[in-house]
A and B are shown apart, each in its own frame.
Chain A
């Protein structure tokens, strides 16, 4: 990607609230872009101003100073009004739960309709396409209150898609979802960015998911500015540790760090997932795990007839990790 097309450009943008007592500035002098075909994850601790920046980019609140420029190219004026440029998925709940899914997704076509709000053939086509893209055609006639949280979020994404904008901004789209739904939402958004060449910005604090799906990270939390880069660069530079002040979480290995409180070494041999999870079980219970050495209790992880077995000092054998742990503790 030598020539990226910027669909949103921020020019010396300052974001926050103008209060009677003075200005509460959350971000200052931002100069960033969102590019076509890229999924950007906007990360930072709670309360740092992620929602405020999303709202400002979406035109829902005024910038303190500076500009947000929409459309491809720096000197090109945006085509049509803002709702033709950018759509949003917010944390607001929809109160009208008796509405059906197709009705809600149709709201995405409002920026293209007159006061008579009649859906043209083209509008109906766009609504159906949006439902298909998110794989929720089968939910089209369901009422909102019949949906699970994950399904509701998919509907809100379909609504944004029906708005047919080059840019989609999402505020915490995976909050309140279980792991499976979180992964599904993130994968969907990445696929949409690539396939439909959209610029997608997701505000989230789901660190692990963001690191594995984002093309680019905007990281907030150090001063009133944003650090940007691809996920791997930011992990290795240590800037994440600085911002999030991890307590017992090692980002580089992606694991929770355990204290070896039993003061007891165990040597372990095995391979693959079985080795990793055995090690995890031992470390979680306060043992230090090393590679094979003399005069240490030794565990072999072996697979026989599709069953895992743990053998201590080549004598005692266990068929679950739980029974192995009971032996040691």
Chain B
């Protein structure tokens, strides 16, 4: 039994590769697995339409799954450790709500009497979401400088989230049904909208933030003992909190900007990963959850396409549907969640 625990981390990369290949094989056009392999190997004989579908649609979508899942999971892990709260996630800081508010402003501004943009382009939405995240992040940082304890910060994050959500409701109330629909579609989340340029941007965000998170390993581990002990073993509280908040905002903001507010992955993946890899060391956890996040997103994305294959269900509906029962099951099994 012991060696199984020690080698269990291998399961994650294997699953990632497996689900990635399955994900490439699924879609509204059925392409035989052999053809997919020959397209991937760069063979010239392949059907050009199929080649376009695989490279321009399925590959970008599968990569988006891996990137978004990884980014949200690292963000979630950091928040759970920083707040020492098993229910924390990247959305607790109010970042996603900030993004939602900005995006809803873009979609529904006409109703509020403002002409911000005639037709919202994807980049405008991404820009608005990033701005929304940044705005909330700046507020959180200013407050974090004034507060010593993380629990207050957590509550303030939730309050900011509540405030922005209610502002969104007001906007929705004032706007036309068509505008509301575009906004609601955005909140469903989407993994298939990204082109290669956007994927490069998202990759850079994930790699840069992931590296910074790895460099924060010592601080993250130190936080597990609480503020006082962390400080007594030489962790700079304010500096590391700032770095952790910054990378979390970048990761969440980046994903929300391109894929919409994807719920639940950031909360569930750290718990699922710790079930497989029993450690508290962030040096192992950060790479592990980033792979685990990719696995869960790929899995959820496969589920969105399965029924009938003609419709693609909204990803946000599936992540919660898959994630929530799993978390409930973990809590019932373990009686307590470990941070």
A115-B215, A116-B283 are known contacts. Are A99 and B232 too (CB-CB below 8 A)? no
Q: Which of A106-114, A184-192, A287-295 participates in binding chain B? A: A106-114
Q: Are A92 and B229 in contact (CB under 8 A)?
A: yes
Q: Which of A35-43, A82-90, A203-211, A301-309 contacts B (4 or more CB under 8 A)?
A: A82-90
Q: Name A96's contact: one of B228, B234, B280 (CB within 8 Å).
A: B280
How far does the alpha carbon of A99 sit from the alpha carbon of B81 in the complex, in Å? 14
Q: Which residues in A have their C-beta under 8 angstroms from that of B231?
A: 59-60
**Stretch touching chain A among B156-164, B219-227, B302-310:** B219-227
The reply to whether B232 and A88 form a contact with Cβ atoms under 8 Å apart is: yes
- Is residue B109 within 8 Å, beta carbon to beta carbon, of the partner chain? no
Interface residues of A in 118-147 (CB under 8 A from B): none
Residues 97-111 of A, flagged 1 when their CB comes within 8 A of B and 0 if not, give: 111000110011011
Instruction: Report B-chain residues with C-beta under 8 Å of the C-beta of A58.
Output: 232
**Is A103's CB under 8 angstroms from B233's CB?**
no
B233–A163 CB distance below 8 A: yes
Q: Which residue in chain A gives the minimum CB-CB distance to B226?
A: A92
Expressed in whole angstroms, the Cα–Cα distance for A103 and B283 within the complex equals 14
| Contact indicator B226/A94 (Cβ below 8 Å) | yes
Known: A81-B234, A83-B234. A98 touches B225 (CB 8 A): no
Q: Does B338 sit at the interface, judged by CB under 8 A?
A: yes
Closest Cβ of chain A to B40, distance in Å, is 36
Q: For residue B281, which residues in chain A have a CB less than 8 angstroms away from its CB?
A: 103, 117
The answer to whether A115 and B218 touch (CB under 8 A), given A92-B228, A96-B338, A107-B229, is yes
Query: Does A95 reach chain B (CB closer than 8 Å)?
Result: yes
B217 within 8 A of A: yes
| In the assembled complex, B131 has its CB within 8 A of some CB on chain A | no
Assess A110 versus B280: contact at CB under 8 Å? Given A88-B229, A96-B338: no
- The reply on A55 being an interface residue by CB < 8 A is yes
Contacts of A103 in B (CB 8 A): 280-281
- Residues of chain A within 8 A (CB-CB) of B280 are 96, 98-99, 103
B339 at the interface (CB under 8 A from A): yes
Assess whether A83 is in contact with B232, with CB atoms less than 8 Å apart.
yes
Contact between B217 and A117, CB atoms less than 8 A apart: yes
**Looking at the complex, which one of B216, B218, B234, B338 makes contact with A98 (CB distance below 8 Å)?**
B338
The reply to whether B233 and A90 contact each other, CB–CB distance below 8 Å, is no
Q: Provided the pairs A90-B228, A96-B339, A117-B218 are in contact, do residues A111 and B233 lie with their beta carbons within 8 angstroms?
A: yes
For B147-183 the 0/1 string (1 means CB < 8 A from A) is: 0000000000000000000000000000000000000
Cβ–Cβ contact B224 & A96, under 8 A: yes
Alpha-carbon distance between A58 and B232 when the two chains are bound, in angstroms: 7
Q: Determine chain B's interface SS by DSSP, over half rule.
A: loop
Give residues of chain B (216-253) contacting chain A, Cβ–Cβ below 8 Å: 216-218, 221-222, 224-226, 228-229, 231-235
Instruction: Chain A residues near B232: list those with CB within 8 A.
Output: 58-60, 83, 86-88, 90
Q: How far is the CA of A55 from the CA of B283 in the complex (A)?
A: 30
Total residues of chain A contacting the partner, CB 8 A: 31
Candidate in B218, B228, B278 with the most chain A CB atoms within 10 angstroms: B228
**B221 — which chain A residues lie within 8 A by C-beta?**
107, 110, 117
Q: Are A111 and B229 in contact (CB under 8 A)?
A: no
- Report yes or no: B283 in contact with A117, Cβ–Cβ below 8 A: yes
Chain B residues within 8 Å of chain A by Cβ, number: 24
Within 8 A of A (CB), among B267-301: 278, 280-281, 283
- Shortest C-beta distance, B224 to chain A (Å), equals 5
CA distance A177 to B62 in the complex (A): 56
A17 to chain B, nearest CB (A): 12
Interface flags for A133-167 (1: CB within 8 Å of B; 0: not) read 00000000000000000000000000000010000
Residues of chain B with a CB closer than 8 A to A104's CB: 225
Please report the C-alpha to C-alpha distance between residue A163 and residue B215 in the assembled complex, in whole angstroms.
22
Which residue of chain B has its CB nearest to the CB of A93? B226
What residue of chain A has the Cβ atom nearest to residue B338's Cβ?
A98
Chain A residues with Cβ below 8 Å from B234 are 81-83, 110-111
How does the 8 Å CB contact mask read for A41-69 relative to B, with 1 for contact and 0 for none? 00000000000000100111000000000
Closest B residue to A95 by CB, please name it: B84
B338 touching A97, Cβ below 8 Å: yes
Contact B338 A107 (CB under 8 A): no
Knowing A55-B228, A88-B228 touch, does A110 contact B338 (C-beta < 8 A)?
A: no
Q: Which residue of B has the minimal Cβ distance to A98?
A: B338
Q: CB-CB < 8 A to A83: which residues of B?
A: 232-234
Taking the closest CB of chain A, its distance from the CB of B247, in whole angstroms, is 14
* Residues of chain B with a CB closer than 8 A to A94's CB: 224-226, 229
> What 1/0 mask marks residues of chain B from 36 to 59 whose CB sits below 8 Å from any chain A CB?
000000000000000000000000
Closest A-B pairs by Cβ, 6 of them: A83-B234, A98-B338, A110-B233, A111-B234, A96-B224, A92-B226
- A sample of 21 cross-chain residue pairs with beta-carbon separation below 8 angstroms, ordered by A number, consists of A59-B232, A60-B228, A83-B232, A83-B233, A83-B234, A87-B232, A88-B228, A90-B228, A92-B225, A94-B229, A95-B226, A96-B338, A96-B339, A98-B278, A99-B224, A108-B233, A110-B235, A111-B234, A113-B218, A115-B218, A117-B221
In addition to A55-B228, A90-B228, A117-B281, 20 A-B residue pairs with Cβ atoms within 8 Å of each other are: A59-B232, A60-B231, A82-B234, A83-B233, A86-B232, A87-B232, A88-B229, A90-B232, A92-B225, A92-B229, A95-B339, A98-B278, A103-B281, A107-B222, A108-B233, A110-B218, A110-B222, A111-B234, A116-B283, A117-B217
